[in-house]
Structure 1
Amino acid sequence: MMMDIFSSFDPGISNINSNLFWIPMILIPFILNLTLWILPTRMFWLSYSPINLIFLQLSRTSSIHLKGLSSLVSPLFIFMILINFMGLIPYMFSASSHLLFTLSLALPLWLSLIISAIFHSPSSFMASLLPSGAPTWLNPFLVLIETISISVRPLTLAFRLAANMSAGHIVLSLVGLYSTTALFTSPSSFILLMAIQTGYFMFEVAICSIQAYIFCLLISMYADDHPV
């Protein structure tokens, strides 16, 4: 049963042809958005609403002063939603449930903010490691704690997304296994389990959208530490 539960997280491919699998996972969201650049269709306005939402959030933080960040995070939000939704398709590999995918997004974004802050104003960046008004004898410990806190941000960002996506898919797999068994043993239990699975699937759709929003929200909040 354990192999059945976690089989949705296994791409079932070898190291030789792994690139042939990951490339379509990245290209599909871009193919779906090709029509957005042609004419302002209904799909355009539907996709523009979440972009406007995340851009409004970015305008409330210091990230609005960083040129190019809003143009990067806004399409990233749509990309994350599409990847999360693709993982809900039955027998579809969930890319956002793997640290290889989430860390490859979180680490470059976090590192780019750190490098930009250091080159923009090294003194302001170093000063941000020490809270104002702290006792002198606590300064070394506070700097160490703040440095560790900033260093683990990409890990927590990647783990949060992967863990939430994995938990939802595991529950859906468990309910699906029991539903398959109940189909031949207890029709009444099968109907109940299908109702539960349908409700949880709708809940998981909301979770996918929320997690994509939280991912981009935390990136914008990390940008608040960037010297202006």
Structure 2
Amino acid sequence: MMNNLFSSFDPTSNIFNLSLNWFSSMICILLVPMSYWYIPSRMNLIWNMIMFILHEQFKTLILPNKDKGTTMIFISLFLVIILNNFMGLFPYIFTSSSHLIFTLSLSLPLWFSFMIYGWINNYNHMFIHLVPQGTPPILMPFMVCIESISNFIRPGTLAVRLTANMIAGHLLMTLLGNTGPLLINSIFLQILILIQLMLLILESAVAIIQSYVFAVLSILYSSEVK
């Protein structure tokens, strides 16, 4: 039962000896609206509205001296994550964002690029950031160690947070789904279906929230690098 339970999170499972798990990440590209239509469709208008709202939200978090267009990086990051999160809600589709190889490939390059940019262009600010203002001199060595460790684990916490939240809800839905064939009474079966629908709505909200949290935390980490 445990093998069947965790098989939906296993990237080595295949169909007809073809590994199609990561194919969902390419299917979500079809959901992106075509930009070459002369008359915008309703889907295009919805996407433009979402991007405008995200731009206004992210612009308040980014430092005012940042280059224009910086928000598009994090908007693209948000859209990639939320599309993959929603693709995992469909039956028999592998959730790419529930695997660390996907989330780490997003968080590590971002964090690494922020660190390279900060230490090359403004290393004084990076050194000052290791010691918070007002720290007693005797505690400064300890604060440097603590701040350095907290800085190094940031990409890991970003990746694990997204992965754990996507796995937890899907795992609970899988557990409840496996008990469906064992229920004989129709009343309990109706209750189970109602619970599954509520969990599906909850997972849809989690997919949006975790995408937004990932993008916002990435912006906050980048705003510390002047």
Fold in common (TM above 0.5): yes
What is aligned with 2:29?
Answer: 30
Say which structure is richer in helix: 1
Which range is displaced more, 146-155 or 114-123? Answer: 114-123
Any conservation in 2 of the 1:175–1:193 contact (CA below 8 Å)?
Answer: yes
Q: Secondary structure at the match of 2:94?
A: coil
What is aligned with 2:66?
Answer: 66
Supply the distance in 1 between the matched residues of 2:136 and 2:37 (Cα, whole angstroms): 59
Any conservation in 2 of the 1:63–1:69 contact (CA below 8 Å)?
Answer: no
What is aligned with 2:192?
Answer: 193
* Aligned pairs for 1:109-124 within 5 A: 109-124=110-125
Supply the distance in 2 between the matched residues of 1:167 and 1:37 (Cα, whole angstroms): 39
Q: 1:210 is matched by which residue type in structure 2? A: I
The 1:63–1:161 alpha-carbon spacing in structure 2 relative to 1, beyond 3 Å, is: farther
Q: Deviations over 1:191-217 (max 9, x none)?
A: 110011011111110110111000101
Q: How far 1:47 sits from its partner (Å)? A: 1.6
**Identity over the aligned pairs, expressed in percent?**
37
What is aligned with 1:226?
Answer: 225
What is aligned with 1:161?
Answer: 162
Q: 1:128 is matched by which residue type in structure 2? A: H
Q: List gaps (5 residues or longer) in structure 2.
A: none
The 1:169–1:127 alpha-carbon spacing in structure 2 relative to 1, beyond 3 Å, is: same
* Aligned pairs for 1:1-228 within 5 A: 1-11=1-11, 12-13=13-14, 21-22=21-22, 24-39=23-38, 40-63=40-63, 65-67=65-67, 68-182=69-183, 185-227=184-226
Q: Secondary structure at the match of 1:179?
A: coil
The 1:165–1:93 alpha-carbon spacing in structure 2 relative to 1, beyond 3 Å, is: same
Any conservation in 1 of the 2:21–2:93 contact (CA below 8 Å)?
Answer: no
Any conservation in 1 of the 2:21–2:94 contact (CA below 8 Å)?
Answer: no
Q: How far 1:180 sits from its partner (Å)? A: 2.5
Any conservation in 1 of the 2:24–2:95 contact (CA below 8 Å)?
Answer: no
Q: TM-score, normalised by structure 1?
A: 0.90
Q: TM-score, normalised by structure 2?
A: 0.90
Any conservation in 2 of the 1:36–1:43 contact (CA below 8 Å)?
Answer: no
Q: How far 1:5 sits from its partner (Å)? A: 1.6
Supply the distance in 2 between the matched residues of 1:49 and 1:64 (Cα, whole angstroms): 23
The 1:113–1:63 alpha-carbon spacing in structure 2 relative to 1, beyond 3 Å, is: farther
Supply the distance in 2 between the matched residues of 1:181 and 1:41 (Cα, whole angstroms): 46
Any conservation in 1 of the 2:173–2:199 contact (CA below 8 Å)?
Answer: yes
Q: Deviations over 1:8-39 (max 9, x none)?
A: 1123049x965x653x3332232321414434
Equivalences, count: 222
Supply the distance in 2 between the matched residues of 1:177 and 1:27 (Cα, whole angstroms): 29
The 1:103–1:190 alpha-carbon spacing in structure 2 relative to 1, beyond 3 Å, is: same
Supply the distance in 2 between the matched residues of 1:21 and 1:202 (Cα, whole angstroms): 24
Q: Secondary structure at the match of 1:215?
A: helix
Q: Deviations over 1:106-153 (max 9, x none)?
A: 111111111111122111111111111111111111111101111100
Q: List gaps (5 residues or longer) in structure 1.
A: none
Any conservation in 2 of the 1:99–1:159 contact (CA below 8 Å)?
Answer: yes
Q: How far 1:66 sits from its partner (Å)? A: 3.4
